[in-house]
Amino acid sequence: MYLKEGCSLMLKMRKPSIPFVLSTNPIPNFLPQNEQNTKDTVTIEESEVLSRLKNENDILLALQYFKSIANSRSFKHTPLTYGKMIEKLGREGEMDAVQYLLLQMKLEKVSCSEDSFICLIKSYTQAGAAEQALKTFYRINEFGCEPTVRIYNHLLDALLSENRFHMINPIYENMKKDGLEPNVYTYNILLKALCKNNSLVGARRLLEEMSKKGCEPDNVSYTTVISFLCKYGKVKEARDLVLKFIPSVSVYNALISGYCGGGKTREALEFLDEMNGRNIAPNVITYTIILNSLADYGYIELSLAILAKMFVQGCEPNAHTFTSLIKGLSLKGRLVEAFDVLSQMIDYGVFPNEVTYNTLIRGFCLAANMDNALSILNKMDENDCLPNIRTFSILIDGFAKSGNLVGASEIWNMMISRGFCPNVISYTSMIDVLCKNSMFNEAYSLVTTMVTDNCPPNMVTFNTFIKGLCAKGKVDWAMELFDEMEKYDCIPNVTTYNEVLDGLYKTNNYNRAFELVSEMKERGLKFNLVTYNTILHGFCSCGKLEEARRLFGRMIIEGINPDSFTLNILVHAYSKHGKVEYATRLMELMSKARLRPDRIAYTSLICGLSEHIGLEAGSNYLRRMISEGIFPDISIWNFLVRCLIRKIGYAGGADYMNAILATKSDEET
């Protein structure tokens, strides 16, 4: 087993611009052979040039043809042919060549059409250069083109695509100064800008302004506002707005998505009846949103009912519908059924995509069933669905979780051989499995490789590495890595501190651990449940019970609900050190808080009471333990028997134990 050398990530370099020089010598190869030998100049029709440019997929050949006829006397380029060439260059991102064409048009006094200028703005938008589009717009008159509502709309959309909200309103005001009336598309762009800028009040006002100016909001207008209201948790306000107009299915989909996103899936189901009452037929998106939400919350039977309803209503499910159901079944561990859904969707003529396969693979990985996960990978190849980087990352992580270095390495090598560059997830998973196999030097080497390959390690990478080191007792190395994190622009978070603290406490390095706790407070890091449990365990391990008590109080005040692990730590510590009254009180307090004590808590308390108070006190909790359906293991019986022998001798101890057991049925015993 070995790791192949990872392929370096290619830095995205700006591709060289296409040279755009109109030479003085025509290129005759683009003219038909019989026309090349003709002394008279052949006139080429505009339609022929447009057809040639449109059908030429190679941008270099198209440009060469464009230049050749420009330098011949057979054709003079028109606004349409310039526009077509601008469109093709823009799609390729060749904006320098586009600027040259604009200059050439200006010199030849060829006016730029509205469509050509819109194409120019679209090209800048695609290249992420909205500001350059704006600068070119300010020179629009130089190119013989007048501003129109359509041009303004595309310019506003370009600015919106880069969230340049501060530029949008001045352009809108400039549009009105030019005497141009905004249309519904203009308003929809402005609505989206207001919503994205979290100005929902402004969006509501703009809806009213549209109606007053006789430009009635359309489905896009309402869908935009409803979507953003739901996004910001204002589902009731969105619901009230829907009642004020006749909505379309897209508006209902936005509303249902908002309710499902807020966990109100059952309320979302009621909208199906409301839609039918308003003669609005739910579509595949409607049903899929609801089915996906039900699956996420584990309501599998309801999800299946929605799928059945789709068939009854004649609404064909798509790949996303089936994928949502597969995800829900996988999360519930019902992987056989999830696999059956995969087969059924193929039977229905719906072909799984990479997301579908990845979902099922992830389900098998979570169940540690790597053989079936690999079989799904093979099924992808059989069905001509190419795995992507996420597919390989899921598989590597699956093998890493079980510590299977050979399996993880084989998938890594397969990923590299198929031309994929590792991402931060696959790197982190490999570091995890290397640590589990105590190959820490190799893990550290991968961290340096990540930097070299322009895939820098993130917080999860370091937390995984530090956890792996601490788990194997390499706490000093973990501390060195902890100190190195800032060198990689990673600031330790609460999870990082939790892992290091756990390692320090386990190696009895209490002083350094307490220093880190103080450091966390100084940095203003908020403790979570894991932090509190880790520190409590540390305090209890070194006998600092008073500090543990105060920390537990702070935990409650900050609204962090203790779990069974918290209870077990404290009950064990108090019982061990003879403070059984505190342990007893804590057990009662937790029971009132509906935190049911488990076998570990009862064992600690029974042993503490028997040792420091008396066997009768311990046996009372033993009876209570059994009455709650928690049955003692062999260790507690051995402890109690030893106590009885010490207290009253072997024969008396046996009689006493028999008396306790007689209070319960044979089955419970």
CB 464 within 8 A of CB 434: no
CB 295 within 8 A of CB 303: yes
Report the share of the chain in percent with pLDDT over 90: 48
- What would the mean pLDDT of 242-263 be, rounded to a whole number? 90
The pLDDT score that the predictor gives to residue 100 is: 84
Instruction: Tell me which of 163-167, 358-362, 463-467 is least confident.
Output: 163-167
CATH fold for the domain made of 562-669: 1.25.40
The pLDDT score that the predictor gives to residue 54 is: 87
pTM: 0.74
- What would the mean pLDDT of 551-561 be, rounded to a whole number? 90
pLDDT digits (tens, 9 = 90+) for 520-535: 999 999 999 999 999 9
The pLDDT score that the predictor gives to residue 257 is: 93
The pLDDT score that the predictor gives to residue 41 is: 53
Q: How many CA atoms lie within 13 A of 194 on its CB side?
A: 22
Q: How far, in Å, are 250, 262, 650, 662 from residue 656 at the CA level?
A: 75, 58, 10, 10
Angle between helix 300-312 and helix 284-296 axes, rounded to 10 deg? 170
Average pLDDT across the chain, whole number: 86
The pLDDT score that the predictor gives to residue 105 is: 84
What does the domain layout of the chain look like in residue ranges? Answer: 21-146, 562-669
Is 166 buried (19+), middle (13-18) or exposed (0-12) by CB count in 10 A?
exposed
Q: Which residue has the tokens 């308390």?
A: 605
The pLDDT score that the predictor gives to residue 99 is: 82
- The one-letter amino acid at 279: N
Inform me whether the pLDDT recorded for 663 exceeds 60: no
- What would the mean pLDDT of 152-167 be, rounded to a whole number? 92
Calculate the CA 328 to chain-centre distance.
Answer: 17
Instruction: Tell me which of 37-46, 277-286, 564-573 is least confident.
Output: 37-46
pLDDT class for 149, splitting at 50, 70, 90?
A: very high
The pLDDT score that the predictor gives to residue 24 is: 32
The pLDDT score that the predictor gives to residue 185 is: 94
The span from the CA of 633 to the CA of 86, in Å, is 81
Calculate the CA 95 to chain-centre distance.
Answer: 34
Inform me whether the pLDDT recorded for 31 exceeds 80: no
pLDDT class for 22, splitting at 50, 70, 90?
A: very low
Inform me whether the pLDDT recorded for 467 exceeds 90: yes
Q: Is 349 left (phi over 0), alpha (psi -120 to 50) or beta?
A: left
pLDDT class for 643, splitting at 50, 70, 90?
A: confident
The pLDDT score that the predictor gives to residue 430 is: 96
- What would the mean pLDDT of 152-178 be, rounded to a whole number? 92
- What would the mean pLDDT of 3-15 be, rounded to a whole number? 34
pLDDT digits (tens, 9 = 90+) for 67-99: 888 787 788 888 888 888 888 888 887 888 888
The span from the CA of 631 to the CA of 644, in Å, is 20
pLDDT digits (tens, 9 = 90+) for 375-430: 999 999 888 899 999 999 999 999 999 999 999 999 999 999 999 999 999 999 99
The pLDDT score that the predictor gives to residue 654 is: 55
Inform me whether the pLDDT recorded for 40 exceeds 70: no
- What would the mean pLDDT of 153-157 be, rounded to a whole number? 94
The pLDDT score that the predictor gives to residue 28 is: 41
pLDDT class for 232, splitting at 50, 70, 90?
A: confident
The span from the CA of 175 to the CA of 241, in Å, is 30
pLDDT class for 660, splitting at 50, 70, 90?
A: low
